Structure 1
Amino acid sequence: MKKALLLSACMGLILSTQALAANPGPDETLSDNQKLTYWLLDANKTKDPQKNSDVEGSHIARQLFEGLFNQTNEGELVPGAALSYDVSDDQTVYTFHLRPEAKWSNGDPVTANDFVYAWQRLVDPATASTYAWYEELMNVKNSSAIIAGDLPASELGVKAVDDHTFEVTLESPIPYFIKMTTHTSTFPVNKAVVEEYGEQWTLPGNLVGNGAYKLTEDKLGQDITLEKNPYYWDSDNTVIDTINFLAVNDKNQALNRYLAGEFDYVELPAGQFPRLKEEYPDQAHSVPRSCTYAYLFNLSDKGPEALKDVRVRKALSYAMNRDVVVNNITRGGQKPAYSWTYYATADFDPPVTDYSQWDQKERNEKAVELLKEAGYDKNNPLELTLSYNTSDDHKKIAIAAQQFWKAIGVNVTLNNTEWKVYLDNLKNKEFDIGRYAWCGDYDEASTYLDYFRSGGMNYGGFSSDEYDAAMKASLTAEDPAADYDKAEQILAEEMPLVPIYFYATPVMVPADVKGLPVENVLQNWYGKDLYRTAE
């Protein structure tokens, strides 16, 4: 009957110890300064775990709330709000045993009902969460029907057996279900607080979380201060006492402020890593990150008619000179991408797509040929708009793309907007070609491939019965590798996007800041696991 992560008290003790990464070595002395200032590219849109849809928002939510499990710096699962779980013989019923000492930041106990409320809230159409589909991917019973409005949220396959026992029933088994519980959309929220304050519940003074930190200040999402939560179950072992998130749209400006001592973490501007690694070898790092940078085509009814033609989409993808992007622009360890799923995803064999085997001259020649077949040439040039959000790096890549496409006879207008406006435009499908990046929600290929499933997040509106069938088959396959490869080949044939590069994130971190992940490809980090050492 039982297949528990932390079944025995002994194992529970071992893994609980692993969870305390803020554990200075015997030769390390803690600094008197235990404040961390973390850079954000864009202003934070929401701190609501069920409504957040971006990576930077998840960094903030992960400090304010805690899900069933956390991750180590290597990506291994460790106890969070749950100490252990059992799973039924048919692998469809998971029973989580919650930590009895866990409390909300107002002192109330964290209970199974808090998880029930949050998981129901995620799929409830009234919440209007752009991540409701994630619970569908988790295969939670009745989630699809609830999202469609055919059943009330109360019919979701979750229940509180008692205050410290949370039960989840799946429609059918999926082998990576537990991995998915580290995503912020599954984090609990306090029902009484949400219902009392409504849309204002995430403001300082109102927000109540169960994470290691509490929100004390928020200036328009651009300057956010968190302080240690004394009610957090492991507060005694939490060393960093203040985290400040500061948004600066310009990476060059952020780097200058880092060098002036104003930041403790920044991502480097494109092209700067080689120089900074030489000048600051103990501060400049290129770390793996499960993200793919791409341009999405708008294939919805709102999209341009030209992009309905797969020959046009292929031509634009083929003409993207990925080697120039990673070797001359980003220069931070990124790899050219000719497929969608991040190449270093666990247990995944990257597909070999046909156009990845050609050289750039061959790709350009094929692009020109396809455009001509589609009816476009110098006398009838294709006109499109490429949209991107504010960032010097995005601008540099967009300008390069504009030139790549001009070389095959396509005229592209660039359109830059700030993040909140840009994200709304993507959601509303008000774009021709849009800059996009997808970062893995968990370390398994389906986190990428489910994006293009009909009804998935899928801002470009791509839909393919054959693709959906492959992804459905993967759910019950003993080894889904063949289904994943088929899905990737369909993407290469239908080309709903231009994959450009696989991430490696070049960053600057002071040598005295310890505990940020360097091997976890999801780059999930927890302030409670960090500490600063004295010089």
Structure 2
Amino acid sequence: MKIQRAVSALALVAAGVVASVPAAYAADVPEGVSLSENQTYTFWLLDAIKSMDPQINTDVEGSDILRNLFEGLYNEDATGALVPGVALDHTLSEDGLTYTFNLRDDAKWSDGKPVTANDFVYAWKRLADPATASEYAWYMELMQIENAPAIIAGEAPVDDLGVKALDDHTLEVKITTPLPYFPQMLVHGSTFPVRQDVIEEFGDNWTQPENLIGNGAYTLTEHLLGERVEMDKSDTYWDADKTVITHLTALTINDVNQGLTRYLAGELDRVNIPAGQYPRLAEEYPDEATSLPYSCSYIYMLNVGEKGPEALKDVNVRKALSYAINRDIIVDNILQGGQHAAYNWTHWATAGFTMPDIDYAGWTQEERTAKAKELLEAAGYTPETPLELELNYNTSEDHKKIAIAASQFLKPLGVNLTLNNMEWKVHTDRMQSQDFEMARYAWCGDYNEASTYLDLFTSYSGHNNGEFFNDDYDKLMKDSKTAEDPQPMYTAAEQILADEMPVLPIYHYAKVDMIASDIKGLPTDNVMQTWYGKDLYRVAE
């Protein structure tokens, strides 16, 4: 459960009782604050946005864009608590299996047409439909939507999905087992509504600026792939009167150091701090340098499937690779931004999560290195007869530094890593087709509960690119959906990952940014770091 997000009223609502959410709308500008005449916000993207389609996007940076162009049933406030989006509230049946959402009657699309319950029905069916080929189709299954597994597998018609419009402003959703954190899952972009008529008219071109019709606080005015995204405030948004920022710009800059340079030149209002520079910048710019816990985990995914190298099918080789990586050097000497060394998958700050007792996490690095050498020698690999592996990573100076460090940790033990840098789309396409041996990967939670991490390594996951399949693991995660307390199962699932080592955990993220001191309204107490342009404002200097 998302205890940390203070939404027990939503999660534990009694039968037939309306679950309301706090009325915290748009920018909350304190009395007496003088606003700047310049109400624009420019932020940094590392990579090009692959898709503006809510049901197709898989990227964190893409989600940042989509939350501004579209709006789902609920949003998050600065603490992570749910606040109304298109839904004002909902009721839950006595058996916990039927949600009825009451939609606001003033929600409009950017062309002025009303947002209806049918727009959500269409979007959710589209997500589950095999014809859409969405990597996030499995999200409908994770949400336990009635008949989703059969539909996704092509064994049932999409119209059997347990979602129905009772009228224009009433949405009914049927799930197969009570899921306390179900409402929190509704902030994810894949559940956002889309317009059927627009998609049918323009096909794959419906996300072009001249065609895209959204229901968010902003409209898309320009998208130059790999260069910039421009968004204007939407006059049709239901809370437009309280939306202060009038224009959003996202600039794609693949070089993190160049991003910082452009921030310091005044071209950006927010940028990630390059590895190793946070201590200096925090001293020089104490009002701008920030480091906050961020629910993302950084790993090297191993291809243990049929297309993967034979060596990685040996669990002891996989363990040796993990043991050899000196995470303390990575977080303390390379990153230096408040990140945590990781020996597991689920981010340490995830609400309610209990870490298993992972043995090698308590060893000294000398002990880990010695054990890695022993295991590699037993498998026949030494500096004289090395194991040859390729490590792919997407373009980033930080990723490059970590990859070089990993290769240096492994080389003396008899592992030669060939480092392959590629742009984001190529990198992800190759992962999705299992065309890799080792690959840099990161996952940011879709909601603040351990299942958002652990479901990824099930056999039915849409993101298990390394093809780690384990029946015991699948059973734990399936059983967790009906457990009164799933946390012990999450701990046990993490232990399986530690025992089988299909990934090499590297570190748990912190959000390490430079943020212009006159920009206000960004979240600081939400481990998800979910932000909305409508909540921001720029103060007068």
TM-score (normalised: structure 2): 0.96
Tell me the amino acid that sits aligned with residue 19 of structure 2: L
Note if 1:491 corresponds to 2:501. no
Tell me the amino acid that sits aligned with residue 494 of structure 1: E
Indicate the larger mover: 366-375 or 200-209: 366-375
In the TM superposition, residue 27 of structure 1 has moved relative to its aligned partner by 2.7
* Contact 2:292–2:524 under 8 Å retained in 1: yes
The 3-state SS of whatever aligns with 1:421 is: helix
Partner of 1:5: 19
The separation in 2 between residues aligned to 1:292 and 1:378, in whole angstroms, is 31
Partner of 2:473: 467
Partner of 2:356: 351
* Contact 1:45–1:221 under 8 Å retained in 2: no
1:183 to 165, 184, 188: 188
Spell out, residue by residue over 1:58-93, the C-alpha distance to the aligned partner (whole angstroms, 9 max, x if none): 000000000000000100000000000001111010
In the TM superposition, residue 222 of structure 1 has moved relative to its aligned partner by 2.2
Partner of 2:406: 401
In the TM superposition, residue 301 of structure 1 has moved relative to its aligned partner by 1.1
1:330 to 324, 328, 335: 335
Tell me the amino acid that sits aligned with residue 83 of structure 2: V
In the TM superposition, residue 407 of structure 1 has moved relative to its aligned partner by 2.1
* Contact 2:25–2:242 under 8 Å retained in 1: no
In the TM superposition, residue 519 of structure 1 has moved relative to its aligned partner by 1.2
Q: 1:3 to 1:454 in 2, by over 3 A?
A: farther
User: What aligned pairs does 1:14-413 form with structure 2 within 5 A after superposition?
Assistant: 15-16=22-23, 18-20=24-26, 22-413=27-418
Spell out, residue by residue over 1:313-370, the C-alpha distance to the aligned partner (whole angstroms, 9 max, x if none): 0000010100000000010000000011010101112222011011101101111111
The separation in 2 between residues aligned to 1:314 and 1:3, in whole angstroms, is 51
Tell me the amino acid that sits aligned with residue 499 of structure 1: P
The separation in 2 between residues aligned to 1:220 and 1:526, in whole angstroms, is 22
The separation in 2 between residues aligned to 1:336 and 1:55, in whole angstroms, is 22
Note if 1:513 corresponds to 2:519. yes
The separation in 1 between residues aligned to 2:134 and 2:506, in whole angstroms, is 28
Spell out, residue by residue over 1:180-226, the C-alpha distance to the aligned partner (whole angstroms, 9 max, x if none): 00000000001110110000000011000000000011112421100
Partner of 1:500: 506
* Contact 2:206–2:212 under 8 Å retained in 1: yes
1:476 to 457, 482, 492: 482
The separation in 1 between residues aligned to 2:146 and 2:227, in whole angstroms, is 38
* Contact 1:225–1:243 under 8 Å retained in 2: yes
* Contact 2:145–2:176 under 8 Å retained in 1: yes
**Count of aligned pairs between the two proteins:** 526
The separation in 2 between residues aligned to 1:315 and 1:321, in whole angstroms, is 12
In the TM superposition, residue 114 of structure 1 has moved relative to its aligned partner by 0.2
The 3-state SS of whatever aligns with 1:97 is: strand
* Contact 1:406–1:412 under 8 Å retained in 2: yes
Structure 1: gaps of 5 or more residues:
7-11
In the TM superposition, residue 478 of structure 1 has moved relative to its aligned partner by 1.0
The separation in 2 between residues aligned to 1:108 and 1:495, in whole angstroms, is 51
CA RMSD of aligned residues (A): 0.9
* Contact 2:56–2:190 under 8 Å retained in 1: yes
* Contact 2:324–2:410 under 8 Å retained in 1: yes
The 3-state SS of whatever aligns with 2:208 is: coil
The separation in 2 between residues aligned to 1:172 and 1:357, in whole angstroms, is 38
Tell me the amino acid that sits aligned with residue 464 of structure 1: N
Partner of 2:538: 532
Structure 2: gaps of 5 or more residues:
1-14
Dislocated runs of 4+, deviation >3 Å: none
The separation in 2 between residues aligned to 1:447 and 1:220, in whole angstroms, is 29
* Contact 2:342–2:508 under 8 Å retained in 1: yes
The 3-state SS of whatever aligns with 1:423 is: helix
Spell out, residue by residue over 1:428-452, the C-alpha distance to the aligned partner (whole angstroms, 9 max, x if none): 1111000000100000000000000
The 3-state SS of whatever aligns with 1:37 is: strand
Tell me the amino acid that sits aligned with residue 139 of structure 1: Q
The separation in 2 between residues aligned to 1:19 and 1:366, in whole angstroms, is 55
Spell out, residue by residue over 1:220-240, the C-alpha distance to the aligned partner (whole angstroms, 9 max, x if none): 242110000100000010000
The 3-state SS of whatever aligns with 2:219 is: strand
Q: Percent identity?
A: 59
* Contact 1:94–1:167 under 8 Å retained in 2: yes
The separation in 1 between residues aligned to 2:258 and 2:487, in whole angstroms, is 44
The separation in 2 between residues aligned to 1:364 and 1:3, in whole angstroms, is 57
* Contact 1:326–1:335 under 8 Å retained in 2: yes
* Contact 1:44–1:222 under 8 Å retained in 2: no
* Contact 2:68–2:217 under 8 Å retained in 1: yes
TM-score (normalised: structure 1): 0.97
